Structure 1
Amino acid sequence: MSVSVIEVYNPGTAELLGEIAAMSDDQVVAAVDAAQEGQRMMAAMPAHERAAALQRIATLIESEKDSLAALLAAENGKPIRQTRGEVDAAIRIFRGYAAEATRLFGRQIPLDAVPGLERHLAVTLREPLGPVAALVPFNYPVELYAHKAAAALAAGNAVLVQPPARCPLALVRVAELVAQAGVPAPAHQLVTGDVRVSQLLARLPGIAAVTITGSTAAGREIARLGAETLKKVMLELGGNDALIVCDDADVDAAAEAVVLGRLARGNGQICCAVKRVYVQAGVYDAFVAALLEQTAKLVIGDQLLEATDVGPLIAEQSAQRVEEAVGRLVADGARLVAGGTRRGAFVDPAILVEVPTTSSAFAEEIFGPVAPVARFSDPMDAVRMANESPYGLHAAVFTRDISNAFSIAKLLDVGGVIVNGSTALRAENLPFGGTKDTGGYREGLHETVLDFTRQKTVVVMDAFR
């Protein structure tokens, strides 16, 4: 990979899929300068026109969804059935933000609540925030791009998108469709390159906001750089989601939540995947048996084949890190009972049992198909252990006792709790995000578009006789 060119490979076969330019600092600065004109153009565009443009983008993506899904699978490694679902989500997100573009409501604030101001009128207006830098991760690039770029455009902003360096090709094609839909060129730009580009976007004063989905380490650095110009920084960062299985749980359903939400979906490379499993002693053996039985049915292989459940990780280096994390868990006393073998960028889905909860590897976010299973006796101990993580994205609890479910959910220090389901759940109309090192931000149709606006207060003196 040269300095000026980013080469994109199929992580499973090492086939070269394409090349894109890596932008220089001067080119990034020029893009930010151009975005100022793009910002003026978008801010002047009526809401109904912005909504219509977003609808056109959704229709164009839909017309190419099969080819986009295939391209995304090839460059990303996720199985083709999952990338189809991701493209479908992006289509829904663009249409959802098209509707939100027409619902940027202000307020009338009663000044008669303040003595002496009874005859005055106050209203608030929603205005575009300014050019937005959208830093998109590799694991769900098309879907998370849609959340960021569609929201920025719906609110009347220009957006500069940095696609993931390892799998940018699908977004390159989407950007062409955005231009085809009539969005002004300076209002929607791709800025391609490595972490240097991200950091430059965070520093430059011409950017009003940075939105990033990524690691906690990356988020901290972006927040630090963004603080230099007091820009708005929106952080959706790492997770180490806990799943708590109580004695009265449906163990088959709980095992399925781990298999589908951790070992298969995204090849385990999801911030909201189940990464720690706590099982009450009474059902521990039954749960592990169900988990092993279901995991054995997973098909591992070429991500472009319909039958594949688990494809390659994004890169061989990523698979090596997962392999090392499994080794550390075993060294700390866990027992590997299935999988864990690495072949290039592929990792066979791994199940580890009797995991010591004090293991440092158990506390880390393992970004791959690994399910470590620990034992507990008292549900409050499971809650305590779940909350000891520095992350707080999602958690899940399996129980047939709804009162117990709500009681545990209330005590968990996370952004979302799933009852009797996998933590790997994201619907575009729900607020998504977490506490602590997960960043504290919430992303979703109704939240993000407002975050990309600012409020202006207008007071009319003596409006009332």
Structure 2
Amino acid sequence: MSTDISPASSKNVIVVRNPGTGEVLGEVEAMDAGRVAEVVADARDGLRVMTAMPAHERAALLRRVAGLMEDESESLALLLAAENGKPLPQTRGEVEAAIRIFRGYAGEATRLFGRQIPLDAVPGLEKNLAVTMREPLGVVAALVPFNYPVELYAHKAAAALAGGNSVVVQPPARCPLTLLRVAELVDQAGAPLHAHQLVTGGVEVSQALASSPGVAAIGLTGSTAAGREIARRAADTLKKVFLELGGNDALIVCDDADVEAAAQAVVLGRLARGNGQICCAVKRVYVQDRVHDAFVESLLAQTAKLTVGDQLLESTDVGPLISEEAAERVEAAVGTLVRDGARLAAGGARRGSFLDPAVLVDVPVTSAAFAEEIFGPVAPVARFSDPLEAVRMANESPYGLHAAVFTRDISRAFTLSRLLDTGGVIVNGSTALRAENLPFGGTKDTGGHREGLHDTVLEYTKEKTVIVMGAFG
């Protein structure tokens, strides 16, 4: 997951712009380490109130937040599209997902179950009783990326509050405005003072949160490089670290696949979803020889129908990338693939922050650009002859978020799924799939953490064992 935390800013102010037009949308404070320390100190006060709050009240708070977000869903989606660059229909879907996530964690707040452990399994302890209970971790820091800021904020902040923690959120520096409005709604819903706070700024803010002894846990969705740096700084205070990092998802198209559906999965899940800026989007396509040409023909035909333009228009499929610098990096990666021997079959032209969806064929699997995460609307296609060869090539990536397999053979689907070293495998669908009730995360340089309704709230609590001696007389 790529992040970019260097927007146009003065020493103390970040200017937020529409990435497509350059229009100034607002300004936010660029906080320093001292301001972050003050916020964390305040969060300790909010924690005391949250820890004492009964589960049913925490659940009610989260439901109220969801209701207020629902009331303003259209204005939130418009603001998010303007500052982020994703087409409006997609930002509507993101806001809707965030509302579901808040309601989902409201339910999880009332299901933080403990266990009764049978001590009669140990000779001499037969008359004693052991139970466990879940307790808040403390102050949780949540570092949110630019590509799906509202949805990923919801997973972190709602989970933290559901578990009885206080939370300090760092929104993305390039598009913080929607989350600033959501924070106002959280206050309006009745969150205790300092239980939910935002800190705005760039890398200095992230590093301060990671280093702070007052922060008990930190969750980051971002690049692998950022994850390593956060983990190093967090190690000094032994805080818990939850990382969901980069991805280079492979899609394997076998010779018995529905090639039209496979091509559609690339178009909708890579080229037209999030403007290609998704950690779990298809970033490498491997197609078996016998169906290669038919797949490419379908992919090119479907790509040609995409509309690139103003993200606030309902008809737009692909909007601007988060910044012109981000588009330049993607353009450079396409150029590297071509120099390494790939053929640019469609798209690739850049106009400011806009990049026409690119399809490359005859891609050499040894190209360094093919191995790295390209964070934009680019679909590189390579060939294979044996599905096991495709699995080997897919597993050579340092990332392991998702993979996809297109085949009509259920045995082949499960066999390849088991062999792929990833956190998830989608059969006959795009890897750009994230449902809030599924565990989401990956292996290797993707970070190892799993985020989802039934996982995150447990991660954001700690287990305590209570033993009652002589409980059974």
| Cα distance in 2, alignment partners of residues 159 and 195 from structure 1 | 19
Q: Deviations over 1:340-379 (max 9, x none)?
A: 0000000000000000011111000000000000000000
Match of 2:75 in 1: 67
Q: Identify which of 180, 191, 196 aligns with 2:188.
A: 180
Match of 1:200 in 2: 208
Aligned: 1:446 with 2:473 = no
- Give the superposition deviation at 1:27: 1.1
- What amino acid is the match of 1:200? A
Q: Identify which of 450, 461, 467 aligns with 1:459.
A: 467
Aligned: 1:3 with 2:32 = no
| Cα distance in 2, alignment partners of residues 295 and 3 from structure 1 | 42
Alpha-carbon contact 2:108-2:457 (below 8 Å) kept: yes
Q: Identify which of 222, 238, 245 aligns with 1:237.
A: 245
Alpha-carbon contact 2:53-2:164 (below 8 Å) kept: yes
Q: Which runs of 5+ in 2 are unaligned?
A: 1-8
Match of 1:316 in 2: 324
Instruction: Give runs of aligned pairs for residues 66-465 of structure 1, distance below 5 A.
Output: 66-465=74-473
Using structure 2 for the length normalisation, give the TM-score: 0.98
- What amino acid is the match of 1:420? N
Aligned: 1:30 with 2:38 = yes
Alpha-carbon contact 2:84-2:147 (below 8 Å) kept: yes
Alpha-carbon contact 2:32-2:204 (below 8 Å) kept: no
| Cα distance in 2, alignment partners of residues 247 and 433 from structure 1 | 29
| Cα distance in 2, alignment partners of residues 299 and 347 from structure 1 | 11
- Give the superposition deviation at 1:5: 0.5
- Give the superposition deviation at 1:25: 1.7
| Secondary structure of residue in 2 paired with 1:217 | helix
| Cα distance in 2, alignment partners of residues 397 and 21 from structure 1 | 46
- What amino acid is the match of 2:195? A
- Give the superposition deviation at 1:335: 0.2
Match of 1:41 in 2: 49
- Give the superposition deviation at 1:169: 0.3
| Cα distance in 2, alignment partners of residues 453 and 15 from structure 1 | 42
Q: Deviations over 1:155-182 (max 9, x none)?
A: 0000000000000000000000000000
| Cα distance in 1, alignment partners of residues 128 and 224 from structure 2 | 47
Match of 2:4 in 1: none
Q: Deviations over 1:58-91 (max 9, x none)?
A: 0000000000000000000000000000000000
| Secondary structure of residue in 1 paired with 2:113 | coil
| Cα distance in 2, alignment partners of residues 56 and 276 from structure 1 | 42
| Cα distance in 2, alignment partners of residues 247 and 105 from structure 1 | 47
| Cα distance in 2, alignment partners of residues 271 and 243 from structure 1 | 14
| Cα distance in 1, alignment partners of residues 335 and 429 from structure 2 | 29
| Cα distance in 2, alignment partners of residues 235 and 115 from structure 1 | 41
Match of 2:6 in 1: none
| Secondary structure of residue in 2 paired with 1:373 | strand
Match of 1:21 in 2: 29
| Cα distance in 1, alignment partners of residues 30 and 109 from structure 2 | 33
Q: Which runs of 5+ in 1 are unaligned?
A: none
- Give the superposition deviation at 1:185: 2.6
| Secondary structure of residue in 2 paired with 1:62 | helix
- Give the superposition deviation at 1:22: 1.2
| Cα distance in 2, alignment partners of residues 3 and 446 from structure 1 | 41
- What amino acid is the match of 1:32? V
Q: Deviations over 1:289-333 (max 9, x none)?
A: 000000000010000000000000000000000000000000000
| Secondary structure of residue in 2 paired with 1:308 | coil
- What amino acid is the match of 1:193? G
RMSD: 0.4
| Cα distance in 2, alignment partners of residues 294 and 23 from structure 1 | 45
Name the % identity.
77
- What amino acid is the match of 1:367? F
Aligned residue-pair number: 465
- Give the superposition deviation at 1:24: 2.2
